[in-house]
Each structure stands twice: as C-alpha cells, then as structure tokens.
Chains A and B, each alone.
Chain A
Amino acid sequence: MRGRARKLPPGADPPVTPRLGELPAPPTPPGLLKTSKLVKVYRADGVTVEAVRGVDIEVAIGEFVAIMGPSGSGKSTLLHVLGGLEPATSGEIWLRGKRVDRLSTAAWAILRRQHIGFVFQFFNLLSNMTVADNVELPALLAGATPRQARKRREELLAELGIADKAGAAPARLSGGEQQRVALARALANEPSVLMADEPTGNLDSSNTRDVLRLLRRAHAGGQAILMVTHDARVASLADRVINLYDGMVADDAKIVPIPRPVNGVADVLELRG
C-alpha cells in the first residue's frame, strides 16, 4: 500500500485546518532504519550497473521486514549497503535517527558491532576458531568482559539447541547447525537489527524449519529483522514484504493472513481421489 500511497499526486490529501485547543501531533519518534533516494551503482571496466535505483524504505523498531524479488533485482546489494558492507553511491541512510551513509569504513565497523547482526547464506563462520569463540568474538570486540561474553554465548547456544557443540570446529557441524551458530553470533550483541541474506538458501527442509522457529522466537522477543529471501516460508513470518524489481521498490505491503478455516488443515488442503 505504501507504494501506491506514494503515487498520489501532491496535495491529494484534504487541507487540514488546525482548530483552537487542538494539540499539535507529537513528533514521530525516529524509526529504526530509513532510506531516502538510495542509489548504488557499480562501475568496472567502463561498464556501469545500476543495482539500486532510488529506494525509499522505512523499518520500525522491532519490525520484521522481508525483501523479495527476482535475482538481479538488487536485494542483496540493498542489504549490503544498508549494513555498511558496501558504500552507497548516493542517497541517505538513517539508523536510529542518525545519518550513517557518509560514515567511514572504520566507523561502520563500530556501528555494526553495536547495532547490526549479519547472517549470510553460507554461514561465514571463522573456521580456525571453535563455535564458542565464533559467538563470543563480537561481544569481546564490542567491549564485553570475557565473563559477560561467555555467559551470553552459553545462553544463546542453549536457546538454539547447540550447547553441546561449543568446543567443536564449525566444519564439523551440519549446515543447519552452522547456520544456528551464525545466528547466535549475529544476536550476541543484541543488535538493533538482524540483517540476513538468504539465511535458509543452503538448508534442507527440516533445518529451514528450525531456523524459522528461531527467527519467529527472536522476533517475538522484539528483535527487528531485515531479511533478503526467496523462501516464501521465511518471508511469510515477516510483518511486511518489500518486493524489489530492477533496483526499485515494486511493492511494499503488510502480510495479511487469509482468515483461518474452521476445520484446520482439512480446509486448507484439498485432496482429490
């Protein structure tokens, strides 16, 4: 609906005449994340690719937003730019009311430690460290004491059902377990936003279900999530889905569940025969 609302001509709203005694609306608190006319252009060997072409999005505190779209629509690029992994070409990014698109690489690294947890399709764990060290590292880098980092790590691994893997090397774990470690690492510093790029893209059905459950639980606990995904099961957990097409927002809508049938599963599924 947002996409449609933006298309209204300016001045389409009826003029509002303030009445005597009416209080002005309280200032809107800054959201979690906001972009304005965000553009990302790649230039290499005289070839120019406009991956993100003027994106305006907003994410509220605690909101779960999924970004979908065909491959090549710019969704991963958008996420990487929003997380400061790649610089924006132009436009603005605001995180918790502060403009961040002009930050240096070093300043972004500090910001990420405190506010952004990242999960990737291929886990990206540090292979020469144990599972425990992988999860504790971000907290230590952010200035936590070893005792605090260990406590948080123990809580997270227990919550994700992999407490017994703490001493293992990541390579000894299954894909599903590695992704759970990656989630634990991303959540270690209680980030303002969890950014995930196809987190179930490399997982089988039962591991996907586990990751789904963890994401659902994290979101229920107030965790904001911004996630690029092809997987509609994962996207369907989101509050809102943004569809990207050709580097632009083609659709931006809340997910509205279809009214649940009285008969449970039987009415959703039609068997023939």
Chain B
Amino acid sequence: MRQPLLALLAKEPAHGYELKLALEQIFGEAYPSPNIGQIYVTLKRLEQDGLVRSEDVEQTTRPNKRVYELTPAGRDALRAWVGEPSDGPRVRDEFFIKLILAPMAGLADRMELMNSQRRHYLGIMRNLTELQAEADPADAPARLLIEGAILHLQADLDWLERCQEELV
C-alpha cells in the first residue's frame, strides 16, 4: 500500500479519501478496494518516515481535512521503487512439496494428487474465463489482470503436466 500512495501523491497533494477513490477509479474492479482505515494508517507511517508531510485544511461545513504531499525524500524513495525490477511470481511450492513428500510418506498417490490439483485449477480457470467474458472492455487494467491470472494458471497446468511426465 505504501508505494501506490506515494505514486498518487507524486501527481498532486491529496487527502486520504481522495486517494482511496483514485485507486478505485484507476484500477476499476480489478483492484481490491482499499480499506480507508488502512490508508490513514499507512499515511501516518509514511509521515513518521519523512516521506510525506501533511497539513490541516479548514473546511467551513465539515471537520478539517488533512492533506498530504510528497517530501523530497518521498520522491527519492518512489524513484528507487519504480527503478528496481519487481520480483517474479513464486511457483506454487505448496502443491509441489505435497507432490514430492506425500507419496514418500505413503500418504497419497501422485497421480491422484495431480488429478485433484488439475481439477481445482480448471475450476479456477472456469471462473477466470467467465470473468474475462463479463469484464468491461473499456476497463483495460481489469482485463489485463484477468489475462495475467489466466496465463499464470496455464503455466501451472503446463508444469503439472511436466511433473506427470517425469514423476508417474
């Protein structure tokens, strides 16, 4: 949550609720709707770390609002985050460990493990293809996220097939 907030504040100063709305608007329904409490807590920590500063802005009809802006240190931290490559996704190591260890312990049959895992993946894939069919064509972030999830799942299935070829 820290970096997205810094990135939004790099564009212009804003208060907490505006940041929540901006995230929802940019990522559409693809992004888990951020919790407002979590946003306030994160902003407070960013301020303690010297990455943002804030001031109260008086409002006539409502309570004052606290507007946040990026500090030079915040801008440096943001640049560093944008500049470094992001981690690749981790492989589904939990299933793999089950697949390798459970048969050794006589707890399961590898083919059965792979069959049930494949069924599970295909069930998820059914959901994703339905989401893809229903997705708003104008909402590019949502569409691309679903496609990303589909491609990852396809890779998991291909990997399962490789495991089947070598381990059964």
Which residues of chain A have a CB within 8 Å of any CB of chain B?
A: 3, 68-70, 205, 209, 212-213, 216, 230-233, 235-237, 241, 243, 245, 250-251, 253, 255-258, 260, 263-271, 273
Residues of B within 8 A of A268 (CB): 124, 127-128, 131, 146, 149
| Cβ–Cβ contact A271 & B125, under 8 A | no
| Cβ–Cβ contact A258 & B120, under 8 A | yes
Name which of B54-62, B63-71, B94-102, B160-168 contacts chain A: B160-168
Bound Cα distance A70, B157 (Å): 11
Bound Cα distance A181, B89 (Å): 38
Q: Convert B117-150 into 0s and 1s, putting 1 for each residue whose CB lies closer than 8 angstroms to a CB of A.
A: 0111111111111111101000000100111111
Known: A245-B168, A264-B29, A270-B32. A235 touches B122 (CB 8 A): yes
Residues of B within 8 A of A265 (CB): 29-30, 131, 135, 142, 145-146
Residues of chain B from 58 to 110 with CB closer than 8 A to chain A in the complex: 86
| Cβ–Cβ contact B123 & A258, under 8 A | yes
Query: On chain B, which size bracket covers the interface?
Result: 35 or more
B3 is an interface residue with CB less than 8 A from chain A: yes
| Cβ–Cβ contact A267 & B150, under 8 A | no
B25 is an interface residue with CB less than 8 A from chain A: no
Find the residue from B3, B119, B120, B142 having the highest chain A CB count within 10 A.
B119
Bound Cα distance A270, B27 (Å): 13
| Cβ–Cβ contact B30 & A269, under 8 A | yes
Which residues of chain B have a CB within 8 Å of any CB of chain A?
A: 3-4, 29-33, 86, 111, 115, 118-133, 135, 142, 145-150, 153-154, 157-158, 161-162, 164-165, 168
Residue of A70, A205, A253, A266 touching B30 (CB-CB under 8 A): A266
| Cβ–Cβ contact A231 & B154, under 8 A | yes
Bound Cα distance A237, B147 (Å): 16
| Cβ–Cβ contact A258 & B31, under 8 A | no
Bound Cα distance A228, B120 (Å): 19
| Cβ–Cβ contact A232 & B123, under 8 A | no
The minimal Cβ–Cβ distance linking B116 to chain A, given in whole angstroms, is 9
Residue of B32, B111, B127 touching A266 (CB-CB under 8 A): B32
Known: A241-B122, A255-B123. A233 touches B150 (CB 8 A): yes
Residues of B within 8 A of A258 (CB): 120, 123-124, 126-127
Residue of B30, B126, B161, B168 touching A236 (CB-CB under 8 A): B126
Sample of 14 further A-B pairs with CB below 8 A, known A232-B153, A250-B111: A216-B133, A230-B158, A233-B125, A235-B125, A236-B125, A236-B128, A250-B164, A251-B118, A251-B119, A257-B123, A258-B120, A266-B32, A268-B146, A269-B30
- The 5 A-B residue pairs whose C-beta atoms are closest, nearest first, are A236-B125, A251-B115, A236-B126, A266-B32, A257-B126
Residue of A nearest to B153 (CB): A232
| Cβ–Cβ contact B146 & A266, under 8 A | no
Bound Cα distance A237, B130 (Å): 9
The minimal Cβ–Cβ distance linking A210 to chain B, given in whole angstroms, is 12
Residues of A within 8 A of B30 (CB): 265-266, 269
